[in-house]
Structure 1
Amino acid sequence: MSRAVIYETFGGPEVLELREVPEPHAGPGEVRVRVTAAGLNPMDWGIASSPEAAARFGITLPSGFGYDLAGVVDEIGSDTTGFTVGERVFGGALGRAAADFAVVDTRAGAAESLWHTPDGVSDEVAATLPIAGSTAAAALNAIDLRSGDVVLIGGAAGGVGVFAVQLARLIGAEVLGTASEGTFEFLHGFGVEPVAYGPGLADRVRALAPGGITAATDLFGAETAETALALGISPDRISTVAAGPTPPGGVRATGGIDAGPDDMTRIAEAVRTGTITVPIAATFPIEKIRDAVALQADRHVHGKVVVTL
């Protein structure tokens, strides 16, 4: 037997239970990971709290919890290549990450992915990378961000935002980031010019960037995308990740699934060299999963929340 976080009804953190479950095993093309850390994301509690969201991801009850994970390969199925027992890895297992063991399909075209964890990157940090890193990369790829651009990033202090602003800076762009005033100092530490979201955003952006912005990505809703349109930015240089399949004004809707094949390797290497910093706000043992999810769902935490096993 092994442990896994399970929920049988939709709801808040109170529906999550740590239970004894049968130990899973790797089949053909699969790898079993002994999980040591699971990074939390808004989509995790969004799926657990909403039947509609769960349906979009093909999740049915009862279900496991979480996606992002890191750990060690401890079992390899037949016809599996590219991994060996004992290797440190990180990746995703939809609805199965918060568990002692997670089986990941490594075959080409699979919806899940697994990468080798670079030496010098802790499992706690590696477990924060898959969703946030791939989503940030996809959002910037969609607008063809280039050196010399002045980009407005909506939701800059969020879990995806902290990756997006750093990736944009590495590309050579000047970054303005929307956020609450309580996060301004936090964003200054990443070389970002923060700007308060809400009514009057366009005027505040004009004041901070009198030469104009050249691109934008909205990581939370549609306010930043709508502002960029109002400032005259072409829709093909504006992207959204959380405004639904038909965002305003024909701007580009994207998500982590659209990240390039080498983006996650590039991000992990940047973390290893210290050119990307991953702020971890809090770490909880798996027995405190409800407390961890409650903190992450509050949306006022600066940085990632990680569960350890």
Structure 2
Amino acid sequence: MRLSTCSPVLLLPARRSRPSWSSPGRRPEPVSGCRRVVPVATGSSWWHCRRGAGCVCTTGWTCGGASRPSTRTRSRVLLARLHTVAPAVRHEPDGAPPQGWYEAPPGAAGWDRLAAEAVGAGTSWSSRLAAATASISALSAALGPADPDRLRLCHRDLHPENVLTDGSGELVVVDWDDVGPADPTRELAGALVLCFHDGTPDLDAMRRAYAAYVEAGGPGRLRTRADFSMLLSTRFNFLHAQARVALDPTATPRERAWAEEEVDEGLRTLPTPELLDAVLDAVGRTSPVEPGGMPFSVS
């Protein structure tokens, strides 16, 4: 298992890369100069780039390889291992408190104003955004801050294009730009949805992947809608931020075009209460196993 590596060469997947849900307005672009930030027990290292685009693919990797169902299930075993060796933390790498981006989405009033602006601007997605506001508000009511005693150092942006394969078929986790404190259960919940829901959820694949994570000793366990708090908060924040860019008359045409695409995809794959309940029901059929790895504690 390799955790990540970097190169000044950027190789994008054949299809448009899924955006980072953990910070607004990020774009894939060539970067160089990465630094190792966290040594781990496997003998490998986690890497972090100096600029916002995150780590990039090295020549010889199969970009987007984790989009295959079998590889996505294997990646849940890898996630279990990452969570097992991850140190307990309470602060961001710079010493700041955990970022609100992962726990606090815009309020109902903010969504209503945004929907009204979109209607006034005549955007192609205004009606879908207006229709989604009720669902967003209902899900936001279930969000809550993570228990500080359950926080570990997590990737916080796990989706198929950030779990690649090298020439030997070994999985490689890249783009550690958003590494920071998170509850492993919440990262697991987000990874399941991001990997197995692209408009239509593959609940059976989620169940198998969750079972693989549990069997591998991963400490996360999904039990309530609140376990999806990080997923929902980052998705809602990203959608809101991109919609603001799309409506911003001072943004460049390229920025607005990119934002329009992100808003369209974000609304198409937006989690709903029904989706979260279906995921909880699917993983609830997994035989319970006691969590493995290190206890949740901060010395």
* TM-score normalised per structure 2: 0.25
Return the structure number with greater strand share.
1
Q: Per residue, is there more helix in 1 or in 2? A: 2
Q: Which has the larger radius of gyration?
A: 1
Q: Which has the higher contact order (CA 8 A, sep 6+)?
A: 2
TM-score, normalised to structure 1, is 0.25
